[in-house]
Amino acid sequence: MIITRNQIINNFAWLLSSNIGSTLCNTIFSLWLARLLSPSDFGIIAISLFYFNCFNLIVNWGWRQGFMAHRDIDLNTAASTHFWIRFFLGGVPLAIILMGKPLVSVHILTTHYSVIVILSLVYWIERLGLTHRLVLEKTYQLRILAWLEGSATLLGYLLAIAAAKQGWGIYSLVVQSFVTKGFAAIGYVIASPWKIGFAFDKNVAKLFFRTFGYATWLSGVFGLMLYHFMPFLIGMLSDTYQAGLYAKAFMIATFPLSITDIFERLTTPLYSAFQKSTVDLKNVFFKTQAFKLFLLVPAQVMMGITASTWVPFILGRQWVPMIPIYHALIIYGIFRAFFDDVPALFLYGFKSPWELTYNQIGQALFIVIIGPLFVFYHQAFGGACAIAIMMCLATTHFWMLVFKKIQSTPRDFLISCASMPSTLKNISARSFQDNKTL
C-alpha cells in the first residue's frame, strides 16, 4: 500500500476537524446534560464504567497491537483472528452480570441493575465493531473514521438530551452510550473493506500474544498508576482542596495534548507500513515531532505566561492558588507531547513493546518513591513537580533510544525542525499535488 502526501494531509485535516467537533460537542452538550440530570445519575454511570475499565485492563493482552504490527499475515486471517477473540472476550462482562445478578444487584447497583446490563450489551457491540475499525486504520481510511466518530458523538448527545427532557433520567445517559457506540460500530462494519469471516488461526493468536501480550498488559497496569495515582496521593497526604487544584491544573495543562491523539492515529499505519525502512520511519517521526513543536509548545508557553490574567477571569479567583501548580504541569504537558508518539514507533515500527513497559515501570517507581515526599512537603505543587520531573526523565530516556534505533542524532531532528516552516507554508498552499510518496 502506497500512502501519498495528499492522503496524509487530507487525513490529518479530517481528524483535526473531527477532534475539534467532538471536543465542542463534549463541552457544550455535557454541560447541557448536567443541567437536566442529577449528579447521582452521572455517579451511577461512573460506577458502572469502572467495571468495564477494570475488565479492559484484565483482557488487554496486545490483540490490537499484534493486528496492527504484523503486516506479514494476510489481512483476512489477521482480522478474523482478532474479531473472534474480541467477540468472545467482549461478551464476558454481559455473561458475568447476568449470571451474577444476586451479587451485582445487591452489592454494586441496588436500584439500577438494568443499567449495567444494557451497558454490558453496549460494550459487546463496541467490541464487535472494533476489528472493522482497525482495518480502516490499517488501510489508512481515516477520513471515514473521522466522519463516523464525529457523527456518532453528535447523534448520541442529541438523543440523550431529548431523552433527558422527556424525564428519562439516568437512562438518557444509557441512550447516549448505546447510540454513540452502536452507530459507530455499525458504520465501521459497513465501511470496512473486510467482512466477517471464519479464518481464525490459533497460531496467529499465539503470535499476537507472544509478541505483545505480557508487555501490553504490564504497560496498562503501570499506566493506570501513572495517570490516576497522583490525585489520590494528594488527597490522602493533604486534603481534597489540594487534590482539586491539582486535578484542574492537570486537565488544563494536558488539554492541548488532545491533538496528539490525531498524530497517533495518523502515524500508526505509517509506522506499520515502513517497518523495514529506517529512513522512512525517521522521516515520519521527525516531521510529526516538528509539527508538535510548532503547534503545541507556543500555545502551552503563552497560556502559562498569561495564566495570572485568564485564570481568575475565566475560572474565578478561587482558582488563583492553582497557578503555580499549573506552571509546573505545563512542563509535564510539553514533555508529554514528545513522549506520546514514541510508544507507537516502538510498537508498530520496530515491534518492540518492552521498551514502553520498562520505561513505564521506571516512571511508576519514581512516582511511588519520590511522589509521597514531594506531596508531604509541598502538597499539590510538590505532586506537580514530581510528575513533571518524571516525564522529563522518561522522555529524555525514550528519545535516546529512538535516536539509536533510527541511527540519527539530535542535530538531525533540529535540522528537520528548521525546515518545518516552509513545509507548513507548502501545506497551507496545497502544493503537494504531485502525490510524491514519503
SS3 for the chain, per residue?
Answer: CCCEHHHHHHHHHHHHHHHHHHHHHHHHHHHHHHHHCCHHHHHHHHHHHHHHHHHHHHHCCCHHHHHHHCCCCCHHHHHHHHHHHHHHHHCHHHHHHHHCHHHHHHHCCCCCHHHHHHHHHHHHHHHHHHHHHHHHHHCCCHHHHHHHHHHHHHHHHHHHHHHHHCCCCHHHHHHHHHHHHHHHHHHHHHHCCCCCCCCCCHHHHHHHHHHHHHHHHHHHHHHHHHHHHHHHHHHHHCCHHHHHHHHHHHHHHHHHHHHHHHHHHHHHHHHHHCCCCHHHHHHHHHHHHHHHHHHCHHHHHHHHHCHHHHHHHHHCHHHHHHHHHHHHHHHHHHHHHHHCHHHHHHHHHCCCCHHHHHHHHHHHHHHHHHHHHHHHHHHHHHHHHHHHHHHHHHHHHHHHHHHHHCCCCHHHHHHHHHCHHHHHHHHHCCCCCCCCEC
Of 151, 174, 200, which closes a domain? 200
Residue 438 reports pLDDT greater than 60: no
Average pLDDT over residues 132-146: 86
Q: Are residues 256 and 135 in the same domain?
A: no
> How many domains would you assign to the chain?
2
Does 205 fall in a domain? no
Higher pLDDT among residues 66 and 104, named by residue: 66
One domain, residues 265 and 138: no
- CA atoms within 13 A of residue 321's CA, in its CB half-sphere: 12
Within this chain, do residues 3 and 124 fall inside the same structural domain, yes or no? yes
User: pTM of the entire structure?
Assistant: 0.67
Whether residue 177 sits in one domain with residue 228:
no
Residues 236 and 375 in one domain: yes
- Convert the pLDDT of each residue in 236-289 to its tens digit: 788 778 887 887 788 788 876 766 777 777 787 888 878 778 888 888 888 888
Q: What is the pLDDT of residue 81?
A: 92
207 within some domain: no
In a domain, 237, yes or no: yes
Does residue 259 sit in the same domain as residue 150?
A: no
User: Of 200, 226, 255, which residue constitutes the final position of a domain?
Assistant: 200
* pLDDT of residue 3 exceeding 70: no
pLDDT tens track for 13-49: 777 777 777 777 876 887 677 778 776 676 677 667 7
Q: Pick the more confident residue, 399 or 435.
A: 399
Asked if the structure places residue 438 within a domain, the reply is: no
Q: How far is CA 142 from CA 8, 145, 183, in A?
A: 9, 5, 17
Instruction: Give the CA angle between residues 383, 344, 186 to the nearest 5°.
Output: 105
Residue 312 · residue 320 · CB < 8 Å: yes
Res. 155: pLDDT tops 90: yes
Angle, alpha carbons 120-122-123 (nearest 5°): 65
Q: Are residues 221 and 359 in the same domain?
A: yes
**Does residue 206 lie within any of the structural domains?**
no
CB 356 within 8 A of CB 409: no
What pLDDT was estimated at residue 39?
A: 63
Q: Is the same domain home to 228 and 141? A: no
**Domain match, 263 and 308 both:** yes
pLDDT tens per residue across span 83-135: 999 899 888 888 888 887 766 555 555 567 788 889 889 999 998 899 999 99
209 lies in some domain: no
- Is residue 343 domain-resident? yes
Least confident window among 129-138, 217-226, 358-367: 217-226
Query: Which structural domain range is residue 30 located in?
Result: 1-200
Per-position b or e across 278-301, b if 16+ CB within 10 A of its CB:
eebbbbbbbbbbbbbbebbbeebe
Averaged pLDDT of the chain: 81
**Domain identity same for 295 and 159:** no
Write the Ramachandran bin of 351: left for phi over 0, alpha for psi from -120 to 50, otherwise beta: left
Q: Kindly indicate the confidence band of residue 192, based on its pLDDT and cuts at 50, 70 and 90.
A: very high
d(C-alpha 94, C-alpha 96), whole Å: 5
- 109 shares its domain with 229: no
- Mean pLDDT lowest for which of 76-80, 228-232, 418-422? 418-422
Q: What would the pLDDT profile of 375-405 be if each residue is shown by its tens digit?
A: 998 988 999 999 999 999 999 998 999 898 8
pLDDT of residue 186: 94
Q: Is the residue at 243 inside a domain?
A: yes
Q: Are residues 233 and 165 in the same domain?
A: no
Last residue of a domain, one of 137, 168, 200: 200
What confidence score (pLDDT) does residue 183 get?
A: 94
